[in-house]
Amino acid sequence: MSALGNSLRPRPLEAWRSASAKAREQWRLAAVLVAPALVLMGIFVFYPALQTIGLSFYKWDGISPDMGDFVGFKTFARATDNYPFSQAIKNSLLWGVVGLFVPTIIGLVAAALVEDTNLRPKALFRFAFFVPYFFSMAVAAALFTRVYDPSYGMINQVIHALGFTDIKPQWLGDGRIAIYAAMGVFVWHETAFCYIVFTAAIQQIDRSLYDAAKVDGASEVQVFRYITIPSVRDVATFVMTIMLIVGLTPFAVVFPLTTPGLGGPYYSTEILPTLIFKKARMGYNASEAAALGVILLMLVIGIVTAFLWFRERTAPKD
């Protein structure tokens, strides 16, 4: 009997039952394995998120026993109709873009330089690039408050030592550059994470590809462009997604750098999380904080989804 004939022949009932039972068994196993995580996420993620969404439609100060009136979207209008909010949105998007590209690109290039060239000793470079990640982001930011000190900080001392005695940037005091100074801490810290992930990814690439490219006379840049980058594409998507999320919510950097004048000077470092913190913890505007939280959630979900969709759409077909 031909193969076609075999495939068309009705499956015995026992085989179907057996396959069905196996599928059910797999579903049961999956449910058992996933249930604890789902329960925990339900309690600690989904329930608070739903509660926050609900709260955003009420007018509640966060302390009164009475939840206050249902006001619909008025809380959203009130929370967004002001200068600090527009600054926060602008800065959050800027952080997102910087987070998406800067640490990722630097981390990838650094990893490729160390792994794909004759740079020695590799262990030392790997250690040096990863050192920033030994500190938590908040500790790193606290350290940088000293580095950025206009008179005694390391950066201005170096500028002074180089002979530029008239140049004395107010890194955290000048509203025009404070946001970039804060981003500098973020990039310094997060590049280390990107570097170590890309290092691991590059080490997994088949070395024979590099050898073949060299035999064909490819330059270092061409090797990086045509072998390294395509080979780490999936890892890059993961790293960029993480960086995008962290970049949209860099509270751990801004808080130590600017607290308790959070988001200053003059809202120049304001981001949505700092605004939420101020409304909820430094004042009594719980509903507005909740509304801003919902906006932040939507923003992060929207941007990350769009990014993943774009990556999927532009992925090589093979």
Partner 1 sequence: MNTFSKGISRREMLKLMGVGAVGASLGSQMAYAQSVPDSGTFRFQIESGPGTDFVAVVDAFIEEHPEISVEFSQVEAAVVGVDWQRIAMEAGAVDLISNENPKFLKLDPVLKAGLIQPLDGYRDLYDWDEWVLAAALRRSSRGGQLWTLPLYYEICGASYRKSVLESFDVGEPQSWEEFIAMLEKFKAAGLIPLTNGHRGFSQIQMIHYQFWASIGGLSGPGSITDVIFGDGKFTDTPSVEAAQAILDIYNAGLLDPDVLSITQDDGNERFISGAAALNVTGTWFYSEMQRQFDDDWDMLTMPGPGGGPIWCTGETEAMVIPAAAQDPDAAALFLDFCVKGTGAKILLERGNLLATKAFGELAIPQIQRLPIITGEESSLLIFGWLPQNSQDAYQQGLGGILAGSITPEQWAQNVQDAWERDIEDGQIPEDRSDLL
The residues that touch partner 1, with contacts defined as CB under 8 A, are: 61, 63-65, 83-84, 145, 148-151, 168, 170-176, 258-261, 263-268, 278-279, 281-285
> How many angstroms separate the CA atoms of 196 and 124, rounded?
13
Kindly calculate the radius of gyration of the chain based on its CA atoms and give it in whole angstroms. 26
Rank residues 62 and 105 by Cβ distance to partner 1 and give the closer one.
62
- Of 84 and 205, CB closest to partner 1: 84
Cβ distance to partner 1 smaller for residue 173 or 220: 173
Least distance CB 92 / partner 1 (angstroms): 17
Give the integer Cα–Cα distance in Å for 231 and 158.
40
CB of 210 to partner 1, least distance (A): 48
Residue 160 or 311: the one with the smaller Cβ distance to partner 1 is: 160
With contact defined as beta carbons under 8 Å apart, do 199 and 111 qualify?
A: yes
The CA-CA-CA angle for residues 140, 145, 146, to 5°, reads 105
Least Å from the CB of residue 72 to partner 1: 17
Tokens of 4: 């076609």
Both tokens assigned to 297:
């959630």
Min dist. Cβ of residue 104 to partner 1 (A): 30
Report which residue type is found at 131. Answer: V
Does an H or E element contain 222, and which? helix 220-223
Q: How far is the CB of 79 from partner 1 (least distance, A)?
A: 11
Based on CB atoms, which residue is closest to partner 1, 110 or 172? 172
- In the complex, minimum distance from the CB of residue 296 to partner 1, in angstroms, rounded to a whole number: 18
Smallest gap, in angstroms, from Cβ of residue 70 to partner 1? Answer: 16
According to DSSP, the residues that pair with 58 across neighbouring strands are 70
Q: Provide DSSP, 131-175.
A: GGGGS-HHHHHHHHHHHT-TTTSHHHHHHHHTT-TT----TTT-T
Q: Which of 256, 106, 94, 252 is nearest to 186 (CA)?
A: 252
- CA 90 to chain CA centroid, Å, is 17
Amino acid in position 228: T
Query: Angle at which helices 178-203 and 233-248 pack, to 10 degrees?
Result: 160
Closer residue to partner 1, CB minimum distance, 79 or 112: 79
Residue 110 or 295 with smaller CB distance to partner 1? 295
Q: How far is the CB of 71 from partner 1 (least distance, A)?
A: 12
Amino acid at 292: L
* Residues β-bridged to residue 70: 58
Q: Which is nearer to partner 1, 191 or 285 (CB)?
A: 285
